[in-house]
Amino acid sequence: MKVITPPSTTDHCYYQGHIQNMKDSSVSVGLCSGMRGFVRAENQVYLIEPLKKSLAGDHAVYKQEHLRTKRAAVQYINDTVYDLGPRFSGLYNSRNMVLGLIAQRFIEMVLVVDYKEYKKFGSLKDVQKRMLEVANHVDKLYRHLNIRVMLVGLEVWSKGDQIEVSSVPNLMLDRFLKWRQTTLLTRKKHDSAQFVTATDFDGSTVGLAPLNAMCSSRSGAVNEDHSINPLGVASTIAHEMGHNLGMSHDEPHCGCSSRSSQGCIMGESIGLVYPEAFSTCSKVALEMFLQNYDSSCLLDVPKEEDVYGGPVCGNAFVEKGEECDCGTVEECKNPCCNATTCRLTEGSKCAHGECCEKCQLKGAGGVCRHSAHDCDLEEYCTGKSAQCPKDDYKMNGLPCNYGQGYCYNGECPTLKEHCKKLWGPGTIANNNKCFISFRHIKCGKIYCSGGNDFPITREKYLSTFGAKTCYSALEIFDKDSVGMVPTGTKCGTNKVCYNNLCQDLSVYKTKNCSAKCNNHGVCNHENQCHCDAGWAPPHCDVKLFNVDHKENSKIQEKCRMWVFKIFYIASCYLVSCTCSTPSQTSAFSSKRSFKNTHTYSGQSNPVFQPSSAKNSPRCGPPRISQPTFMESTATQACKSLRS
């Protein structure tokens, strides 16, 4: 086996861009050994590659539909593991699609190349060049979603395969993901592992991936390098990675931009031309994944030293030795950054980040990330960095969702919401008769009733307790089972599920945690102080300099308003008590009681809460960290993933 580490000297020769003075155009090329890549002008795509054995440096330019493929006149199937319908009613109705650009995410990708692919290209250097071209194109496709795909590792099995490579896609996927979990993850931190093979998969399948698996132990895919041009396998990787991000195959009504008349990236099959855009359906599915699943790994910005190939000025990613990077000279619209040198312009203190405003650092105390839900905390600028501090959550064990649950690592898990996620709308958690141990009730397998006939895991288990029939979702794989009650779920008053046991909240070891924060902060989910605006960690006992006075004045104004409101309400209450007769007092109490009850009733349903309300719960089910598996509606049926 040969593990390629980032070389000390690298030719920075992979570029993305467009044709000058042509709006509807796109370019993705590598210039390391001649020019290789693609150029799109309006709806026509041209491929460029150097001619072999040409001493004069001649190149071939041909239309994409003339590209030689694995099988003539065959459309290749991009499969997903158990991509099962039906979709929830109205989910993809264009009237329901309110799409906005998501905050930037980063996918740290590792490419693993098998021995047959290595032998196909003959040398480590040639394999490396091809994989860098592949990674460059995948990154280009995901930039439209404000997601950067950063290559952080390339492993080439140049001395033999580390696992048995099979032509059966399902079997190959199972083997690769198990190897990733036991071996690769212990050696290299990453978000997604993509296996590239020269093995001809059975049938027309060229790729296979689990759905909703990103940020889990099963985040990855297997991909056949089925084309002479690297764009072929790059398109397949982009497609399979889309499945990891919750995107299903596009249905007929799912539309792309005009540039992709040849189809969308998540189309079920690949024709003779390669798509460049994600459909509106894919964008909606991505937003749902980010809301409902644990996608926290995508918020980690890759370390400069981890990016494969070293720093490149112009790739829109700030790396070692750079003060800023706003893309190429043509792309850059940032007045704070010199695109040619990747240095700050004269007088600028920053160019990127939530705490950078008009090329200057924002003062300490300004909110740079608002609280997103019941268990989230606001983050504040420090006055020393252009980047917002890492996302922290409320201390584990605090009540959430109006007492229905307790916060756990930024989530508010409940039995009801987990059942809904597994079985769909109309599902409820079954009563106590379905749970095995009375003491540790509701902390093992989760039993639900109602909803769909089958759970999202595709397999179910039926058991009978007297006259009661109980259903549970079966997971195809043993680890990370979504059929279990999530850790942190409420199982009683001041009790939560932890290690599949119903335990007291003291298991979180948070008692008196905030005492160390000197009355200027609270404990977060890591039992560390999360300081108030203007105070510095670790113990919130040092006041920050360069305080944002504008933000400070806003806070003071809010405080004054609240003091005034409290004083006004208290005054009205005292006047009412003084002036009322006993019967009037009784009537007033009755009205007051009715009003409180009404308010509580309205607040118990988060759907009726204004989205801007501070600490309001997110309107949707809690995120689930494990992947879900669904059956494919593709022409080629998927089998259960069993070795």
Confidence of residue 628 (pLDDT cuts 50, 70, 90): very low
Question: Do residues 114 and 156 touch, judged by C-beta distance below 8 A?
Answer: no
Q: Is residue 637 part of a domain?
A: no
* pLDDT of the residue at 198: 96
**Which tens digit of pLDDT belongs to each residue from 142-184?**
998 999 999 999 999 999 999 999 999 999 999 999 999 999 9
pLDDT for 511-524, tens place per residue? 889 999 999 999 99
Residues 217 and 83 in one domain: yes
Residue (of 514, 509, 445) closest to 482 by Cα position: 445
With CA atoms as reference, report the closest residue to 419 among 367, 456, 387.
456
**Which of 231-240, 302-311, 441-450, 553-562 is most confident?**
231-240
- Domain ends where: 521, 553, 585? 553
Alpha carbon distance 353, 339 (integer Å): 17
- State the chain's mean pLDDT as an integer: 75
Q: In the predicted model, is pLDDT for residue 479 greater than 80?
A: no
Please check whether residue 157 is in contact with residue 2, taking contact to mean a CB–CB distance below 8 angstroms.
yes
- 202-216, 223-237, 378-392, 557-571, range with the lowest pLDDT: 557-571
Contact 621, 417 (CB under 8 A): yes
Which pLDDT value is given to residue 638?
35
Does residue 277 lie in a domain region? yes
- Two structure tokens written together for 66: 């003339």
Whether residues 261 and 122 share a domain: the answer is yes
Alpha carbon 212 to chain centroid, angstroms: 9
Which letter does DSSP use for residue 94 in this model? G
332 touches 316 (CB < 8 A): no
The verdict on 370 and 490 lying in the same domain is no
Sign of the four-CA dihedral 341, 344, 345, 347: negative
Q: How confident is the model at residue 95 (pLDDT cuts 50, 70, 90)?
A: very low
Confidence of residue 139 (pLDDT cuts 50, 70, 90): very high
What's the CA gap between 51 and 33, in Å, rounded? Answer: 11
Residue 567 has pLDDT above 50, yes or no: yes
pLDDT band at residue 59 using 50, 70 and 90 as cut-offs: low
Residue numbers annotated as active site: 240
Least reliable range by pLDDT among 224-228, 378-382, 398-402, 639-643: 639-643
Residue 336, token pair as written in the block: 């704070």
pTM of the model: 0.64
**Is 19 found in the same domain as 152?**
yes
User: What's the rounded Cα separation, in Å, for the pair 455 and 12?
Assistant: 48
154 in the same domain as 246: yes
**Can you give the pLDDT at residue 440?**
53
Residue 325: per-residue pLDDT: 93
Summarize the annotated binding site for Zn(2+) as residue ranges. 239, 243, 249
- pLDDT exceeds cutoff 70 at 546: no
pLDDT category at 569 given cuts 50, 70, 90 is low
Binding residues: 239, 243, 249
Query: Which 8-state DSSP code applies to residue 486?
Result: P
Residue 156's domain spans which residues?
Answer: 2-295
pLDDT in tens, 372-403: 889 999 999 999 999 999 889 999 999 999 99
| % of the chain exceeding 90 in pLDDT | 42
Q: Is residue 610 part of a domain?
A: no
User: What does the pLDDT average to over 572-595?
Assistant: 42
> Do residues 259 and 365 share a domain?
no
Task: Work out the average pLDDT over 435-445.
Answer: 66
pLDDT of residue 261: 55
Residues 143, 183 within the same domain: yes
d(CA 585, CA 577): 7
* Any domain includes 471: yes
Question: pLDDT digits over 255-269, tens only?
Answer: 776 554 557 899 887
Q: How many CA atoms lie within 13 A of 262 on its CB side?
A: 20
Residues 293-348: tens digit of each pLDDT:
778 899 888 888 888 877 888 888 888 889 999 988 888 999 999 999 999 999 99
Do residue 274 and residue 405 come from a single domain?
Answer: no
- 486: closest CA among 393, 406, 402? 406
Give the C-alpha separation, 449 to 437, whole Å. 19
For the record, the structure tokens of 260 come out as: 């992709």
How large is the average pLDDT for residues 83-90? 36
303 C-beta neighbours (distance < 10 Å), count: 12
Query: Is the predicted pLDDT of residue 466 greater than 70, yes or no?
Result: no
- If asked whether residues 43 and 158 sit together in one domain, one would say yes
Same domain, 57 and 93: yes
Give residue 68's region: left, alpha or beta (phi > 0; psi -120 to 50).
beta
**Secondary structure element (H or E) that encloses residue 498, with its range:** strand 495-498
Q: How many domains does the chain have?
A: 3
Task: Give yes or no: residues 195 and 80 share one domain.
Answer: yes
Q: What is the pLDDT of residue 121?
A: 93
Shared-domain flag, residues 470 and 538: no
Which segment of 52-61, 69-78, 501-510 scores lowest on mean pLDDT? Answer: 69-78
